[in-house]
Amino acid sequence: MMRRGKFFVIEGIDGSGKKTQMDLLTARLAQENISFQTISFPRYGHPAAYFEETYLQPNSLYGTPEQVGPYHASYFFTLDRYDASFEVKRWLADGTHVIADRYVISNAAHQGGKIRDIKERERYVEWLYDLEYRQFEIPKPDLNIILSLPVAIASRRIAGKQARMYLKSEQGAKDAHEMDEAHLRNSQEAYLWIAKKYPDEFRIVDCADGDRELNEQEIHERIWEILKERLQLHNARYILDSMKP
């Protein structure tokens, strides 16, 4: 019987460096001859991402993210993941590891962060887990890795980004989440909150050491150590490497 692939997700607020770390991680996996597939959510440009793209426009006809609310907005993103889930399930069943840039916990953080009452947020997350994992039977990750970066640094990075391809040209470079610093702060808080609530499902990777922002390679090595353990890459070469001074 073929061994099922592992499913890992890179999470974090906008500007936390997810894409950069995805690029470094996929290069490392290829170097190690490890079979993998990647997927990124939302899948901008895909028909299943229509509602997400419309919702994220700065002047969305749906209203602001606060007006839409966490429950309605969650469906937009869930349906995209549901559409992709059949391919993800096939990859995993074939023994291929899957690395995703954002997944269910992005909903829990970005939408759950709108809910400031903790008891109400807990009810929302329970509803979301039921919706995604039970009703839609979307595969659950083996581990979510959260990139934790101070909001001030993330905001500075966002300011330097080029316009998002999914935004209408007249609406600026930032989407409705990115342009709201309070949303970033609330999302960051929600990410750390849910990681504490479900510790077996998460690992937090700090992207700063005190006041010092870690470089891309330092962050990558922290992520790689986590995945190496989860993928059980404890062959002789890794043992010998660990013994080097």
Residue 1 lies in a domain: no
Residue 152 has pLDDT above 70, yes or no: yes
Residue type, 120: E
Domain count of the fold of the chain: 1
Residue 197 lies in a domain: yes
Residue 145 has pLDDT above 50, yes or no: yes
| Average of per-residue pLDDT across 159-187 | 63
Residue 12 lies in a domain: yes
Q: At 190, which CATH number?
A: 3.40.50.300
pLDDT tens, position by position, 217-243: 999 999 999 999 999 875 434 434 433
Residue 2 lies in a domain: no
Residue 35 lies in a domain: yes
pTM (predicted TM-score):
0.86
Angle of the 181-197 helix axis to the 151-159 helix axis, nearest 10: 130
Which range marks the domain in which residue 101 is found? 7-243
pLDDT tens, position by position, 9-49: 999 999 999 999 999 999 999 999 999 999 999 999 999 99
Taking alpha carbons only, the member of 236, 225, 227, 205 closest to residue 6 is 227
Residue 188 lies in a domain: yes
Q: Which two tokens stand for residue 29?
A: 């996996």
In the prediction, which pLDDT does 2 show?
A: 74
Residue 134 lies in a domain: yes
The CA distance from 150 to 207, in Å, is 8
